[in-house]
Amino acid sequence: MYGYYTPIFLFQAFCIYHAYRNNAEQRWYWLILFFPLIGCIIYFIHSFNNRDTIESLKENVKHAVNSNYKIEQLEKALRFSENLQNKLNLANAYVEFDRHQDAIPLYSDCLQGFMSEDPFMRMKLMYAHFMSGDYNTAVECGNALESEKAFKGSEERVAYAWALFHSGNRDKAEKVFSDMDKSFTNYYHRLEYCKFLLQLDQPTVAKDKFNILLEEYEQMQATERRLKKNIFREVRDLYAHHFQGA
């Protein structure tokens, strides 16, 4: 009896978790709870019967398998030899697979000797602090990087601007975003600036910025459009969500 109910219980727990994560309607919770097996099967078929969802599940499984294998190999390499390159490789992998807290001590260890003032390594450390939610430390790291030329147009500087915002310094965050608002370049930075303006409840200014981005996209060569298509897909989606039909 125990062996029969355990898989059903796990299946039920998975369906409840999935329903919660995807804001499912209340009726699905009742169906899953009161009819554990049949209800879960109906919910599963309803939620996972399209190709996009199945492909997404496959990608998630592949991502998990690949991340575990890659990180295990890099951890072994670091245990074998604790050199700078092995530390950096593992830290970068941790960031790639959203383990930013684990990357922080490795990046810190890399900032020694001839690498102690390396701006690119310091940018990596700042970004890891930001992604781990330690905005105050990210701001401290960013403040020390503001004089570095490599930092001025970097994507890490966007994280610095958001860290300023989340730590309560909105005015300085806006100055940093504004400094990166340069025509025909910095498209990711400017998209984030638009999001920032929406956060500040400045829709009119944000709309103007969105329109400028969309106009620049229309003037791009086909090759550049392909390179920037993901950014501008998000630009169009956000514009449509906030301004079209309003």
Q: What is the pLDDT of residue 65?
A: 57
- Compute and round to an integer the Cα radius of gyration of the chain: 23
Q: What is the pLDDT of residue 2?
A: 42
Interior angle at CA 214, CA 170 and CA 197, nearest 5: 15
Q: What is the pLDDT of residue 56?
A: 58
List the alpha helices (DSSP H) in 81-134: 84-96, 100-110, 119-131
pTM of the entire predicted model: 0.74
pLDDT tens-place string over residues 228-240: 999 999 999 999 9
HSE-CB at 89 with a 13 A cutoff on CA atoms is: 16
Q: What is the pLDDT of residue 54?
A: 52
181-205 mean pLDDT: 96
Q: What is the pLDDT of residue 3?
A: 47
Q: What is the pLDDT of residue 4?
A: 45
Q: What is the pLDDT of residue 184?
A: 95
Q: What is the pLDDT of residue 59?
A: 59
pLDDT tens-place string over residues 145-172: 999 999 999 999 999 999 999 999 999 9
Output the CA torsion sign for 192, 196, 201, 206.
negative
Answer yes or no: is pLDDT of 126 > 80. Answer: yes
Reported as a pLDDT band with limits 50, 70 and 90, residue 31 is: confident
* 25 DSSP 8-state letter: -
Reported as a pLDDT band with limits 50, 70 and 90, residue 28 is: confident
Reported as a pLDDT band with limits 50, 70 and 90, residue 53 is: low
Distance of CA 12 to the CA centre of its chain: 30
Least confident range from 27-31, 37-41, 51-55, 208-212: namely 51-55
Polymer length of the chain: 246
Q: What is the pLDDT of residue 49?
A: 63
By the 8 A CB rule, do 176 and 161 touch?
yes
Reported as a pLDDT band with limits 50, 70 and 90, residue 84 is: very high
16-38 mean pLDDT: 80
